């Protein structure tokens, strides 16, 4: 069940951040939040949330999403941190 919630949340966030009339950043954020409540360690959802906040131009929201991800992974060593997420964090921070 947890995996389905995460997959659905990621799909909704992805759909809601695409250009077009269906674009809705608050809905993308909400989908990620719901998914992260089900699985607080989902790297795909943290990346989706960070992308949504960056696309919305919400610098404070981006920083909050990064802080939430860092807090969820505070027990991991640098070698254990998901490299895709760290690369995204570095890219988004450099761009903002």
Closest among 15, 16, 17, 46 to 33, alpha carbons compared: 46
pLDDT greater than 80 at residue 96: no
pLDDT greater than 90 at residue 53: yes
Read off the pLDDT of residues 23-51 as tens digits, 9 standing for 90 and up: 999 999 999 999 999 999 999 999 999 99
**Six-digit token pair at 95?**
């761009």
CA angle, 78 then 82 then 83, to 5°: 85
């Amino acid at each position: 069940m947890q995996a389905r919630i995460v997959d659905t949340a990621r799909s909704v966030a992805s759909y809601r951040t695409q250009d077009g009339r269906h674009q809705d950043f608050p809905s993308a954020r909400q989908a990620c939040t719901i998914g992260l409540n089900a699985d607080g360690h989902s790297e795909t959802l943290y990346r989706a949330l960070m992308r949504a906040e960056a696309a919305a131009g919400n610098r404070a929201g981006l920083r909050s999403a990064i802080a939430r991800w860092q807090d969820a992974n505070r027990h991991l060593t640098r070698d254990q941190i998901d490299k895709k997420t760290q690369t995204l964090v570095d890219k988004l921070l450099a761009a903002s």
